[in-house]
Amino acid sequence: MVERFLARLKSDPSLASRIAHWHREPAVAGASRPFPASLHPVLAESLKRRGIEDLYSHQAEAFEHVLAGRHTVVATPTASGKSQCYALPILSAMLAAREGRALGRDGSGRLLPAATRPTALFIFPTKALAQDQRAAVNETLAAEERADGGIRDLADAQALAVRGLAPIGAWTYDGDTPPDIRRRLRESGDIIITNPSMLHVAILPNHPRWADFFRRLRYVVIDEVHAQQGVAGASMANVLRRLSRIARHHGSEPVFIGCSATIANARTHFGRLVERDVELVDKSGAPRGERHHVLLNPPVINVPLGLRARAVDEAREVCRHFLKLGLPAIVFGRSRSRVEVLTKYLKDAAASLDLDPATVVGYRGGYLPDLRRRIEAGLRDGSIRMVAATNALELGVDIGSLDAVVMAGYPGSTASYMQQSGRAGRRRGASVTVLVASSLPLDQYVLQTPEHLFGARAGPEVIINPDNLVVATNHLKCAAFELPFRMEESFGSFPHTRAVLHALAVPGGPLFAKEGRTFWMDEAWPAEKVSLDGGSTDNFVVVEMPSGRSLGTVDRPAVMTTLHPQAIYQHQGEQFVITHLDWEGRRAEAEHVQVDYWTDAESRTEVQVLSEDQDAPRGLFRFGCGDVHTTRVATLWKRMRFYTNENVETGPIDLPPEELDTTAFWMALAPEMVDRLRLHDTARAGTLEGAASLLRSVVPALCQQGRSEVRALGLGSHPHFLSPVILLLDTVPGGIGLAEELMARHMALLRCALRVVRHCPCQVGCPACIGTGMARGPEAKRAVLELVSMALAAAEESSGCGPAAGVATIDSSGRIGFAALGAEGEH
């Protein structure tokens, strides 16, 4: 089946001409090792019964680390048997304890007495994943599940029963767990499978009731570690700080084990997350079927503007082939609205092929849970043939195996690419991933540097900032609720522990200090008010009128540009116009309409610099980062026609501004740069905005900070800098570490930007490089190229790290050239 598609790809001239890169991963035989000596015989028997005679090399490696008490992160591809990496050693230790043998060391290297029956906590990002995982543990044990969630016995051999041992209980603990089961699993659960939110809001604040579980806690498993970035990652790191405190209070030092998709910095990332030295296991010994990665670049349809055909349209054409061939496929879109557009296009395409449009569905976050469950089930039973999805489907929710994945636009990170691509070809046999690049600079960067995806140390680094003041302070409150702080006690490596405790222990504050100890002193329950993904507790609900049906929710910061009156809200490929917005009531009313346009909105941001944390003068440039206060106001809405993208109407938006305290990275230009770059009048705005847009768009090539976006401003003058400046703004309150990271890696940022703008075929600036604002044009493109290369040269010269990068030239006919450039990119 896949072969038929690949053949068509080669033979169809219009498809073949679009191929920018074809990467074939040959089938891999894999590497195996014999069962380790300490693998419990019950598990060995269970594996053998399923025809497994040995372990993959990475499973054996992880097995040794875990039993030696070493914190470990496993970063191997999807479907490489990651869960066995921790399930086998943990179950071996538990089974040995049942027999009165001590096996395995804890996180501090102690060999615990055999009388202690160890417990384990598995943390999965979602409830669905936790449910899947319980099934996986039971499969490892070849155990039957009881209706109440426990495990009755181990396999047909009834090995444990023969040995007279109690069974091992693996339980999911989530919002659906009934109260009487909760009590039982607190008292007798060996493995508790839960999600970060339950740990945060239910388990840790009630740890006295879990005292026996925590006293014996030996293993903490964290899945999908790569997704723990940005606010979610910072929150997770702080939840783990709390967990470590509570475990220590009850006398245990667990071993932390993480599972991650392939990311550039799995070891440092997991180390940061758990604040411990960790071992990395990243050499997969699993065999894999042949995999094809086809990177398609849509043709340039307007040469001067460098405009390419839209990724969504191109992806639709690719999907038509899959529909015709009857190959089940997932097509990933980058945003909710794009997925809605894709869903509509693909339903149309199915209808034109005489297929039932109901076999094509959309899947994204913001859908209410029961609709999502129905879609997941349809994918599993085959009644759904094609899904247009956001990355909500990227995490390992069980949807069976598919042959093909299409990405309408690069998903933004190597880890996401690999996860999405991994949705195809879980079973052995050929599979294909088709990436349709968009005109965005990052997409074009990836196409020019496929080693970014397929190289040895591919991809951007995942960054988290566990010390984000907002996140850490909120969790410090939760921690104080859970256990008073002793004198000089630290909260992980949060540097402001003392200072923040002190600031909160004032009259009217929630804490109280006495004789060096700090106590929670408030009726409120802090965990209730702290959301793990930041801000999402402040949601607006969209209600269809007059039916009153809830369509979905929107985070507050996005409301001013997506739920203003007249906005088109898209849901399942249908359009709803917002008729009324109740700001106080956090509610928008929408009516179903049939229109041929959607809406986009413009906003204006003002920035006040509060402090300069770093300042690096480099020739005619100054790089720096620090705290800023921003005020953002939505100004205009625009109606855009489907398929043509034509702006058919605009109107004003009148909504309150969003105020935000955050951090920013900036690059200020000495005033004489205005002359040097000939930045006068409109060219100045076009250049600065273009450079800002370019820099922002390549940020994800360097670092991943989760769902939050980066906002970019290019200003001709600013009262703080008294000169032109380009600002890249973190959009998380308090800053999530982006500004510091960009400051530390500003040369790499400039190198990526330079590569993109230099290779862009356009002449006047385009969405693939400097964007297409009012003031863009050949002058702006020339100036951005010069600006970026001069900035890079200045930065490199001052840091003494290499020769000047090179010089942009522009000849009399407006053609842009480039001379002598040093090493580019960091990867």
Partner 1 sequence: MSAGLQEKLARLGLLAATPSTASAVPPSVVSELPGRECLTCCGPVWMHERRFVPGAAPLPHGTRPLTSVEKALLFRRPPRHGAAVAFDIETTSLASGAGVNAFLVGLGWWHEGVVVVQQWLMRSPLEEEAMLASVLATLQRFTGMLSFCGRGFDIPRFRDRLAMAGRGEQLPVFPHDDLAPLARQMLTGRMKNARLASVEAELLGFRRVHDLPGSECPREWFALQRGQAHRMAAVMEHNAIDVASLFGVEWALFEELQQPRTPATAMLATVAALEAGEMMHAQRAANVADEILAADSAGQVPRGLAEQYRRARQRLHAAC
Binding site for Zn ion (CB under 5 A): 306, 760, 762, 766, 768-769
**Residue nearer to partner 1 on the CB measure, 76 or 473:** 473
Residue 42 vs 762, nearer CB to Zn ion: 762
User: Of 208 and 814, which has the nearer Cβ to partner 1?
Assistant: 208
Only segment of 61-69, 154-162, 340-348, 479-487 that touches partner 1 (CB under 8 A): 479-487
Q: How far apart are CA 372 and CA 393, in angstroms?
A: 10
Stretch that binds partner 1, among 48-56, 154-162, 332-340, 522-530 (CB under 8 A): 522-530
Residue 524 touches which of Zn ion, partner 1, none (Cβ within 5-8 Å per kind): partner 1
> Cβ of residue 439: shortest distance to Zn ion, in angstroms?
8
Beta strand 404-408 pairing with 431-436: parallel
- Residue 766 interaction partner, one of partner 1, Zn ion, none, beta carbon < 5-8 Å per kind: Zn ion
Q: Give 261 or 760: the residue with its C-beta nearer to Zn ion.
A: 760
Given partner 1, Zn ion, none, residue 519, with its beta carbon under 5 to 8 Å by kind, binds partner 1
Judge contact between 311 and 408, C-beta under 8 A.
yes
Question: Among 283, 226, 213, which residue's Cα sits nearest to residue 258?
Answer: 226
Nearer to partner 1, 532 or 787 (CB): 532
Q: How far is the CB of 822 from partner 1 (least distance, A)?
A: 39
E strands in 282-385: 291-296, 300-302, 307-308, 329-333, 360-363
Q: According to the binding rule CB under 8 A, does residue 557 interact with partner 1?
A: no
Is 213 one of the binding residues for partner 1 (CB under 8 A)?
Answer: no
Q: Which two tokens stand for residue 415?
A: 């880890």
Per residue, the 3-state secondary structure of 143-156, as one string, reads: EEECCCCCEEEECC
CB-nearer residue toward partner 1: 83 or 474: 474
Can you tell me which of 515, 584, 675, 811 binds partner 1, judged by CB under 8 A? Answer: 515
Q: Which listed option, partner 1, Zn ion, none, makes contact with residue 481 (CB within 5 to 8 Å by class)?
A: partner 1
Report if residue 180 touches partner 1, rule: CB under 8 A.
Answer: no
- Among Zn ion, partner 1, none, the one that 762 touches (CB under a kind-dependent 5 to 8 A) is Zn ion
For residue 573, count CB atoms less than 10 angstroms from its CB and return exposed for 0-12, middle for 13-18, buried for 19 or more: buried
Residue closer to Zn ion by CB (options 360, 760) is 760
Angstrom distance (rounded) from CA 47 to CA 141? 9
Strand partners, 417: none
Q: How far apart are CA 464 and CA 796, in angstroms?
A: 27
Q: Which is nearer to partner 1, 515 or 584 (CB)?
A: 515
| Binding segment toward partner 1, per CB under 8 A, in 58-66, 413-421, 469-477, 582-590 | 469-477
d(CA 665, CA 643): 37
From 53-61, 99-107, 204-212, 329-337, give the range in contact with partner 1 by CB under 8 A: 204-212
113 binds partner 1 (CB under 8 A): no
Q: Rounded to the nearest whole angstrom, what is the least distance from the CB of residue 196 to partner 1 in the complex?
A: 18
Q: Which of left, alpha, beta for 310 (phi over 0: left; psi -120 to 50: alpha)?
A: beta
Contacts of 746 (CB under 8 A, 6+ apart): 623, 665, 667, 795
209 contacts partner 1 (rule: CB under 8 A) = yes
Q: How far is the CB of 609 from partner 1 (least distance, A)?
A: 14
Binding test (CB under 8 A) with partner 1, winner from 26, 113, 164, 507: 507
**CA separation (Å) from 259 to 131, 289, 459, 705?**
17, 22, 17, 18
- Which of 276, 324, 498, 556: binder of partner 1 (CB under 8 A)? 498
Cα separations in angstroms, 411 against 345, 415, 421, 588: 20, 9, 10, 30
Per CB under 8 A, 146 contacts partner 1: no
CB of 531 within 8 A of CB of 555? no
Which option in Zn ion, partner 1, none does residue 483 bind, with CB closer than 5 to 8 A by kind?
partner 1
Contact mark string toward partner 1, 732..751, x via CB under 8 A: -xx-----------------
Please identify which residue in 398, 522, 606, 612 interacts with partner 1, judged by CB under 8 A. Answer: 522
Hey, how many other C-beta atoms are within 10 angstroms of the C-beta on 355?
17
Place of tokens 């222990």: 505
Of 163 and 514, the one with the shorter C-beta distance to partner 1 is: 514
Residue with tokens 């999911």: 172
484 binds partner 1, rule: CB under 8 A: yes
**Is there binding between residue 467 and partner 1 (CB under 8 A)?**
no
* Stretch of 270-278, 506-514, 637-645, 665-673 lying at the interface with partner 1 (CB under 8 A): 506-514
> Which of the ranges 348-356, 360-368, 453-461, 500-508 carries the binding residues for partner 1, by CB under 8 A?
500-508
Question: Using the rule CB under 8 A, is 633 a contact of partner 1?
Answer: no
Closest approach, Cβ 140 to Zn ion, in A, equals 52
Q: Based on the shown chain and the rule CB under 8 A, indicate whether residue 647 belongs to the binding site for partner 1.
A: no
Nearby residues of 50 by Cβ (< 8 Å), 6 or more positions away: 142
Residue 254 φ then ψ, to 5°: -70, 160
CB of 467 to partner 1, least distance (A): 12
How far apart (Å, rounded) are the C-alpha atoms in residues 718 and 612?
Answer: 15
User: CA-to-CA distance for 750 and 511, rounded, in angstroms?
Assistant: 46
In whole angstroms, give the CA distance from residue 652 to residue 638.
9
Q: Find the part of the chain contacting partner 1 (CB under 8 A) among 203-211, 217-225, 596-604, 739-747.
A: 203-211
22 belongs to the binding site for partner 1 (CB under 8 A): no
Question: How near is the Cβ of 689 to Zn ion at its closest, in Å?
Answer: 14
According to CB under 8 A, which residues from 574 to 613 bind partner 1? 610-611
Is 509 a binding residue for partner 1 by CB under 8 A? The answer is yes
Selection from partner 1, Zn ion, none that 306 binds (CB < 5 to 8 A by kind) is Zn ion
| Longest alpha-carbon distance in the chain | 89
Q: Which two tokens stand for residue 393?
A: 């489907």
184 binds partner 1 (CB under 8 A): no
Starting at the earlier edge strand, list the strands of the sheet with 549-555: 549-555, 539-544, 587-593, 574-582, 568-571
Selected binder of partner 1 within 31, 157, 181, 211 (CB under 8 A): 211
Residue 487 sits in the site that holds partner 1 (CB under 8 A) = no
Residue whose pair of structure tokens reads 């100004």 in the numeric block: 635
Asked whether position 529 contacts partner 1 by CB under 8 A, the answer is: no
The pair phi, psi for residue 147, each rounded to 5°, is: -60, -30
Nearer to partner 1, 514 or 549 (CB): 514
Cβ atoms of 219 and 118 closer than 8 Å: yes
| Residue 480 contacts partner 1 per CB under 8 A | yes
Beta carbon nearer to partner 1, 354 or 515:
515
What CA–CA distance (Å, rounded) separates 511 from 527?
15
Count of residues in contact with partner 1, rule CB under 8 A: 46
CB atoms within 10 A of CB 580: 14
Task: Give the integer Cα–Cα distance in Å for 268 and 41.
Answer: 35
Contact call for residues 608 and 645 (beta carbons, < 8 A): no
Say which entry of partner 1, Zn ion, none residue 769 contacts (CB below 5 to 8 A, set by partner kind): Zn ion
Give the contacts of 417 (CB within 8 A, at least 6 positions apart).
407, 410, 411, 435, 453
Which of Zn ion, partner 1, none does residue 506 bind (CB under 5 to 8 Å by kind)? Answer: partner 1
Q: Which is nearer to partner 1, 582 or 659 (CB)?
A: 659
Contacts of 55 (CB under 8 A, 6+ apart): 32, 33, 34, 35, 36, 39, 63, 84, 88, 285
Which parts of this chain interact with partner 1 (CB under 8 A)?
Answer: 205-209, 211, 469-470, 473-474, 480-484, 496, 498-500, 502-504, 506-510, 512, 514-515, 517, 519-526, 610-611, 627, 629, 661, 733-734
